[in-house]
Chains A and B, each alone.
Chain A
Amino acid sequence: MKNLTIRNLSKTYFDPYAGTNVTAVHDVSLNVEQGEFVCIVGPSGCGKTTILNMIAGFLPHTGGDILVGGRPVNGPGPDRGVVFQSFALFPWKTVLENVAFGPKMRGVGKAEREKIAHEYLALAKLTEAAGRYPAELSGGMQQRVGVVRALANEPDVLLMDEPFASVDAQTRMTLQEELTRIWQEKRPTVIFITHDVAEAVFLANRVVALSKGRVLEEIDVDLPRPRSWDALNDDPQFKELTGRVLQLVRSA
């Protein structure tokens, strides 16, 4: 795992119907150290997805640099794992085959990659579901598969775009707790995008507040781990931090 450096990143979309340019990301710089968990938070339309898609290599950027371990990003690659809001599991593969897909692409043999996949499935308490197809799982289970599928490939950076936005509130809290637990165990470098301030503070080492395509402020979160909602719900430091981030995001 390596660090991620973003320097003066910008993105201008061309709208062919209106014939105008829309600048969605202005001059964003960010440095993420290896093993850090960074949340980018901001209101709808502030450019979060655009930034993440550029890091993932899905979108070309129109200015600045994106470096992973010192090397510029050029298209999607296995060094940057992605967890999608819409899960994006392969419906024609079983849960096990989905999780084993990354190792398979790396050329890992069948027995070995299934061992890896089983290990990661156990990490997310999904052992029972290994032989099932994604359509046979609940939304929360599907997204857990999405997370471990990306992790099983051992990317340098894990990119997550509102991965828990489409599950119900209770499941979301469980998934958040599980993600912090898995993160503590495996220590991947994570960039997590959300518009939910409490989620950002709960998960992150550092929260980056974004507004209208610009970074407003970076706030360190040194709440103790392991984190759980039971412990943090009434924690004064947690309340103070969420309050601060919320104010930042709303004031802009």
Chain B
Amino acid sequence: MKPVILNIWSFLVRLTARFPSIGSIAPFIPIVAAWWIVTELQIFPRVFLPGPGDVVRSFGLLVYTGVLPEYLQDSMVRLAVGAFWGIALGIPLGILVGLSQRAHTALWPLLLFFQAIGDIAWLPILVIWFGYGLVTMTVVIVYTVIFPVVLNTVLGVRSIPITMERAARSLGCSRTRMLWEVVLPGALPNIVTGLRNGLGYGWRALIATEIIVGTSGIGFLMFDARRAGSVVEILLGMIILGILWYIVDSWILAPIERATGQRWGLVTR
């Protein structure tokens, strides 16, 4: 018995070394296997807990009818819009608060206050103001993305050693050029972390908002499926959420982090 397990283990190790992408899939294999076994044993009725095969079939059907690609695109576009405004507003605001003691005194309490109100706590009033639709969803996601970006940018700006600024000034760098040459790159590792957190929270807030006020998107897909009593589609939605985030994080955010803070030795691995 033991040598067999060892053999399988060493086979898996060699396999993941050869194909690194298998390494990221491997952890899910036991979970899917367990899920499959539970459904095959018919412990719960099929309508309550469909198996992996049912979900794959449902995926094929929704892709075929065009519903899923459309909803997927809607959700992704909303995330991208949220990310864009979160960056465009959050980074300059964070740099201002990080650099200017006066701005810090004036804005920091406000930032903490509004951060505490948090994404979907705004929904009731936003629905009254803007109704069910895109504006409401955009406000919620921008709101959610922006705080982690601002707070981490402030932290990043404030953690730049004073010697960096002194060195730049002694080499003839003006205060305005300092922004681009020292402040922004010095704070960048923290900014990326803020963005990573912000998008993570924003993604969740977006799905929640789609469930509550949406007319399309992955969140809406899941809510609609609940109305129709289709557990398969709910499960499908949940799986898509996980996969999508995994892709955004490991294909976009993690490489940026590796190319900046880690390369520069500012972040220890």
Q: Measuring CB to CB, which residues of chain A are less than 8 angstroms from any residue of chain B?
A: 56-58, 75-78, 80-82, 84, 86, 88-93, 101-102, 105-106, 133-136, 149-150, 153, 155
Nearest CB to that of A93 among chain B residues? B185
Asked whether A88 lies within 8 Å of B177 as measured between CB atoms, the reply is no
CB within 8 Å for A105 and B265 given contacts A56-B166, A92-B185: no
Asked whether B167 lies within 8 Å of A91 as measured between CB atoms, the reply is no
Shortest CB distance A68–B (Å) = 12
Q: What are 21 pairs between A and B in contact, CB < 8 Å?
A: A58-B166, A75-B169, A80-B170, A82-B166, A82-B167, A88-B164, A90-B182, A90-B185, A92-B185, A92-B188, A93-B185, A101-B168, A101-B171, A102-B172, A105-B171, A134-B265, A135-B263, A135-B265, A136-B265, A150-B171, A155-B170
Main secondary structure on B side of the interface with A: helix
Contacts of A102 in B (CB 8 A): 171-172
Task: Judge if B20 is at the interface, Cβ distance under 8 Å.
Answer: no
Asked whether B172 lies within 8 Å of A86 as measured between CB atoms, the reply is no
Asked whether A84 lies within 8 Å of B264 as measured between CB atoms, the reply is no
- Per-residue CB contact flags for chain B residues 131-174 toward chain A (1 = under 8 Å, else 0) read 00000000000000000000000000000010110111111111
Task: Judge if B16 is at the interface, Cβ distance under 8 Å.
Answer: no
Shortest CB distance A55–B (Å) = 11
Asked whether B167 lies within 8 Å of A88 as measured between CB atoms, the reply is yes
Task: Judge if B266 is at the interface, Cβ distance under 8 Å.
Answer: yes
Asked whether A105 lies within 8 Å of B166 as measured between CB atoms, the reply is no
Q: How far, in angstroms, from A139 to B167 measured CA to CA in the complex?
A: 17
CB within 8 Å for A91 and B171 given contacts A58-B166, A76-B166, A105-B177: no
Contacts of A92 in B (CB 8 A): 185-186, 188, 260, 264
Main secondary structure on A side of the interface with B: loop
- Residues of chain B at interface, number, CB under 8 A: 23
Listed from nearest, the 4 A-B pairs whose CB atoms lie closest are: A135-B265, A78-B172, A76-B169, A105-B172
Shortest CB distance B160–A (Å) = 10
Asked whether B171 lies within 8 Å of A84 as measured between CB atoms, the reply is no
Contacts of B177 in A (CB 8 A): 105
Asked whether A76 lies within 8 Å of B263 as measured between CB atoms, the reply is no
Contacts of A76 in B (CB 8 A): 166, 169-170
CB within 8 Å for A81 and B170 given contacts A86-B163, A88-B161, A90-B182: yes
Q: Which of B211-269 contact A (CB under 8 A)?
A: 260, 263-266
Asked whether B265 lies within 8 Å of A88 as measured between CB atoms, the reply is no
Nearest CB to that of B262 among chain A residues? A135
Contacts of B173 in A (CB 8 A): 101, 105
Shortest CB distance B259–A (Å) = 11
Asked whether B170 lies within 8 Å of A56 as measured between CB atoms, the reply is yes
Other-chain residue from B169, B186, B188, B264 in contact with A133 (beta carbon distance below 8 A): B264
